Amino acid sequence: MNKELSIIQYLKENLGQGLLFETIWSTDTGMSIEEYNFRENNVIYLDNIMTCVNKNLNELGLPQLGKYQLYFLESEAVLVIIKLDEHNVFGMLVDLTLTKIGILLNIIIPDIIARWNEFHQ
Protein backbone atom coordinates (compact mmCIF):
# COMPACT_ATOMS: atom_id res chain seq x y z
CA MET A 1 0.00 0.00 0.00
CA ASN A 2 1.27 3.46 -0.91
CA LYS A 3 2.24 5.37 2.26
CA GLU A 4 0.78 8.68 1.11
CA LEU A 5 -2.45 7.05 -0.02
CA SER A 6 -2.85 5.45 3.39
CA ILE A 7 -2.70 8.92 5.02
CA ILE A 8 -5.10 10.44 2.49
CA GLN A 9 -7.56 7.57 2.85
CA TYR A 10 -7.31 7.78 6.63
CA LEU A 11 -8.10 11.51 6.54
CA LYS A 12 -11.00 11.11 4.11
CA GLU A 13 -12.49 8.38 6.30
CA ASN A 14 -12.00 10.23 9.58
CA LEU A 15 -12.54 13.88 8.63
CA GLY A 16 -14.97 13.44 5.75
CA GLN A 17 -16.25 16.81 4.51
CA GLY A 18 -14.11 18.50 7.17
CA LEU A 19 -10.97 17.82 5.12
CA LEU A 20 -10.75 20.79 2.74
CA PHE A 21 -7.33 19.97 1.31
CA GLU A 22 -4.26 17.88 2.04
CA THR A 23 -0.77 17.72 0.59
CA ILE A 24 2.55 16.07 1.30
CA TRP A 25 5.56 17.74 -0.29
CA SER A 26 9.31 17.36 -0.54
CA THR A 27 11.28 20.28 0.86
CA ASP A 28 14.18 19.20 -1.38
CA THR A 29 12.27 19.64 -4.63
CA GLY A 30 9.35 21.84 -3.58
CA MET A 31 7.12 19.37 -5.39
CA SER A 32 3.98 17.77 -4.06
CA ILE A 33 4.31 14.03 -3.49
CA GLU A 34 0.58 13.54 -3.06
CA GLU A 35 -2.39 15.84 -2.67
CA TYR A 36 -6.11 15.89 -2.22
CA ASN A 37 -8.14 18.87 -3.42
CA PHE A 38 -4.93 20.89 -3.66
CA ARG A 39 -3.06 22.41 -6.59
CA GLU A 40 0.53 21.21 -6.65
CA ASN A 41 1.95 24.60 -7.60
CA ASN A 42 0.56 26.06 -4.34
CA VAL A 43 3.09 24.09 -2.26
CA ILE A 44 5.46 27.06 -2.45
CA TYR A 45 3.02 29.17 -0.41
CA LEU A 46 2.80 26.62 2.40
CA ASP A 47 6.57 26.21 2.36
CA ASN A 48 6.96 30.00 2.53
CA ILE A 49 4.83 30.14 5.69
CA MET A 50 7.32 27.92 7.50
CA THR A 51 10.34 29.69 6.03
CA CYS A 52 9.09 33.18 6.94
CA VAL A 53 8.05 32.22 10.47
CA ASN A 54 11.39 30.48 11.10
CA LYS A 55 13.28 33.49 9.73
CA ASN A 56 11.38 35.85 12.03
CA LEU A 57 11.83 33.56 15.03
CA ASN A 58 15.56 33.43 14.30
CA GLU A 59 15.72 37.24 14.13
CA LEU A 60 13.99 37.39 17.52
CA GLY A 61 16.51 34.93 18.95
CA LEU A 62 13.84 32.28 19.47
CA PRO A 63 13.92 28.56 18.62
CA GLN A 64 12.67 27.32 15.26
CA LEU A 65 9.19 25.90 14.73
CA GLY A 66 8.54 22.51 16.26
CA LYS A 67 7.07 19.32 14.82
CA TYR A 68 3.75 20.88 13.80
CA GLN A 69 1.96 24.21 13.61
CA LEU A 70 -1.68 25.22 13.65
CA TYR A 71 -2.89 28.43 12.04
CA PHE A 72 -6.47 29.31 12.92
CA LEU A 73 -8.11 31.17 10.05
CA GLU A 74 -11.01 33.62 10.14
CA SER A 75 -13.14 31.22 8.11
CA GLU A 76 -13.45 28.74 11.02
CA ALA A 77 -10.78 26.56 9.49
CA VAL A 78 -7.35 25.54 10.70
CA LEU A 79 -4.25 25.12 8.58
CA VAL A 80 -2.10 22.29 9.93
CA ILE A 81 1.54 21.92 8.89
CA ILE A 82 3.54 18.92 10.11
CA LYS A 83 7.25 18.38 9.53
CA LEU A 84 7.24 14.64 8.83
CA ASP A 85 11.02 14.31 8.56
CA GLU A 86 14.00 16.29 7.28
CA HIS A 87 12.74 16.16 3.68
CA ASN A 88 8.94 15.93 3.77
CA VAL A 89 6.16 18.13 5.09
CA PHE A 90 2.45 17.56 5.40
CA GLY A 91 -0.22 20.25 5.17
CA MET A 92 -3.99 20.21 5.45
CA LEU A 93 -6.86 22.62 5.84
CA VAL A 94 -9.67 21.47 8.11
CA ASP A 95 -13.14 22.95 8.54
CA LEU A 96 -13.64 23.42 12.29
CA THR A 97 -17.41 23.55 11.92
CA LEU A 98 -17.25 19.88 10.88
CA THR A 99 -14.32 18.69 13.01
CA LYS A 100 -13.67 19.00 16.72
CA ILE A 101 -10.28 20.54 17.53
CA GLY A 102 -9.75 17.99 20.32
CA ILE A 103 -10.08 15.09 17.86
CA LEU A 104 -7.64 16.82 15.51
CA LEU A 105 -5.04 17.47 18.23
CA ASN A 106 -5.33 14.24 20.18
CA ILE A 107 -6.07 11.66 17.51
CA ILE A 108 -5.67 12.82 13.89
CA ILE A 109 -2.31 14.64 14.11
CA PRO A 110 -0.60 11.90 16.18
CA ASP A 111 -2.01 9.28 13.78
CA ILE A 112 -0.63 11.12 10.73
CA ILE A 113 2.82 11.23 12.30
CA ALA A 114 2.62 7.57 13.37
CA ARG A 115 1.45 6.43 9.92
CA TRP A 116 4.28 8.32 8.21
CA ASN A 117 6.86 6.90 10.61
CA GLU A 118 5.47 3.38 10.20
CA PHE A 119 6.25 3.46 6.48
CA HIS A 120 9.70 4.97 6.99
CA GLN A 121 11.18 2.58 9.57
Side by side, which strands form the sheet with 88-95? 32-36, 19-26, 88-95, 77-83, 68-73
Report percent pLDDT > 90 for the chain: 81
Residue 115 has pLDDT above 60, yes or no: yes
Report percent pLDDT > 70 for the chain: 95
Which residues, including other chains, have CB under 8 Å from residue 116's CB and lie 6 or more apart? 3, 7, 84, 85, 88, 90
Q: Structural domains in the chain?
A: 3-118 (3.30.450.30)
pTM of the model: 0.90
2 pLDDT band, cuts 50/70/90, is: low
pLDDT at 3: 55
pLDDT digits (tens, 9 = 90+) for 90-114: 999 999 999 999 999 999 999 999 9
Which amino acid is present at 26? S
pLDDT at 1: 44
pLDDT digits (tens, 9 = 90+) for 82-92: 999 999 999 99
pLDDT digits (tens, 9 = 90+) for 4-51: 557 889 999 999 999 999 999 999 998 998 889 998 788 999 999 999
Residue 121 has pLDDT above 50, yes or no: yes
